Amino acid sequence: MTDETQRILIVDDQPHFAAAVAKRLQLDGHQATVADSAAAGLACCLEQRVDTAFVDLALPDGQGTELAAAIKRRHPAAFVVLMTGFATRVDDEELASAAIDAILPKPWRGAELEDVLGRAMRFNANRPG
Q: Does 31 reside within a domain?
A: yes
Residue 110 structural domain: 7-126
Q: Does 1 reside within a domain?
A: no
We report the CATH number of the domain holding residue 52 as 3.40.50.2300
pLDDT in tens, 54-108: 999 999 999 999 999 999 999 999 999 999 887 555 566 666 666 899 988 888 7
Q: Does 81 reside within a domain?
A: yes
- pTM score, whole prediction: 0.87
CA distance 92 to 9: 23
pLDDT band of residue 1 (cuts 50, 70, 90) is: very low
The pLDDT value recorded for residue 96 is 65
pLDDT in tens, 18-41: 998 899 889 989 999 999 999 999
Domain count, the chain: 1
Q: Does 67 reside within a domain?
A: yes
